[in-house]
A and B are shown apart, each in its own frame.
Chain A
Amino acid sequence: MKTRNLSILMASLFVIAGAIFTAGARAEGEVPAPPAIGATIEDFTLPDVDNKERSLKSLAGKNGTVLIFISVQCPVSNAYNERMEKLAADYKTKGVAVIGINSNVAEDAAAVKAHAEQNKPSFPILKDPANKIADKLGATVTPEAYFLDAGNKLLYHGRIDNARNAAQLETSDLRNALDAALAGKAVEKTEAKAFGCSIKRA
């Protein structure tokens, strides 16, 4: 009887230990699902390149906000640097703000700052330690864009446009979504699969 009780106790301890070790762990390759189109994105705060805490609320545009997950080293993300800058400039006057977010665990704050100083984006770049915001938004690659309306409702998620190579540009999915929303129309294509380098997660 004592042996049986001890066995039960040991088995229970193993189960509990297993639960502790696996709780919060993510299987390799598993990324949380992105929010559905129409979902409201909660405010969040991340440090900028000067390590100053910035909130989504403080950076949002009066007519909406575009969040773009970017990378220091990814050639696909960097191929979009000029296009992102032009996007930010074009839509700033229309009340839409652009925010860059670096969630790559392999790219530290110093690297993100150096990259920003080199490229001089006109929009803020935030560092997402432990990829918390990437997880909340289910972001998987860089670049990957999310367009939120003035109330932080998600209207578009995915790629900026169809081609890494700007010379092959055919469809500017993100701009199309922005233009539709700013014109008071429904966004026709709310999702277009983003392609690029996987976000390196903690």
Chain B
Amino acid sequence: MLLSLAAPAQKQKGRAAKPRDPIVVSAIDTNELKGLLTQQRERPLLVNFWATFCDPCRDEFPDLVKIDKDYGPHALEFVTVSLDDMSDIKTEVPKFLDSMKARMPAYLLNANDPEPAINLVDPRWQGDLPATFLYNEKGEVVYKRIGRVNPVELREAIEKVVKKSDGQ
């Protein structure tokens, strides 16, 4: 079950001119999130925590979509995790993602209490959004940004870890 988390219901079939299906957002609980972050991987993992009610989250999304287009899915695994309410999983969240033309796998944290999930990701993270974490293929955090990402900095961080992956 956990191994399938990286490819939720909708599979990407390529990035050509095929008409886009609406994005499907999958619920992820705290245990599943832990599995996602700690599972064995062949590529680095970029995780962006966001919410539709978070203005800087919305503002940075175009930069994230460009990064996904440039690096994913072959060189970089990139997922987003929304901290919106579960009631928005089929409405506001996919609506926003579709408006951004975001195609990276999208999750929504399904947890009555978000604190264990926040502590799981980073005990020093207060839960403020947006928050972006880059993990190398060993699962080590190599880049962290609380607040709106600086796309230049993020790309530099991705380049370092992607190059290392290519070199192996």
Contact residues of A with B, CB < 8 Å?
A: 28-30, 74-76, 140-141, 159, 162-165, 168, 170-171, 192-195, 197-198, 200
Contact = CB atoms under 8 A, between A and B. Distances in A.
Contacts of A193: 114-115, 118-119, 126-127
Interface of B: 53-56, 83, 85-87, 112-115, 118-119, 126-129, 145-148, 150
23 contacts: A29-B147, A29-B148, A76-B53, A141-B128, A159-B115, A162-B112, A162-B114, A162-B115, A163-B112, A164-B85, A165-B85, A165-B86, A193-B114, A193-B126, A193-B127, A194-B127, A195-B83, A195-B114, A195-B127, A198-B54, A198-B55, A198-B56, A200-B55
Looking at chain A's contact residues, is the secondary structure mostly helix, strand, loop, or mixed? loop
9 nearest interchain CB pairs?
A29-B147, A162-B113, A168-B112, A193-B127, A140-B128, A195-B127, A75-B53, A193-B115, A193-B126
B126 A194 contact: yes
Nearest to B83: A195
A16 to B, nearest CB: 26
Contact of B55 (A29, A141, A165, A197): A197
Nearest to A30: B147
Nearest to A168: B112
B27 to A, nearest CB: 14
Given A197-B55, A200-B55, A28 B113 contact: no
Nearest to A138: B126
A200 B55 CA distance: 9
B8 to A, nearest CB: 23
Nearest to B123: A193
B87 A165 contact: yes
B118 A28 contact: no
A198 B146 CA distance: 11
A170 B128 contact: no
A194 B115 CA distance: 9
Given A28-B147, A195-B83, A171 B53 contact: no
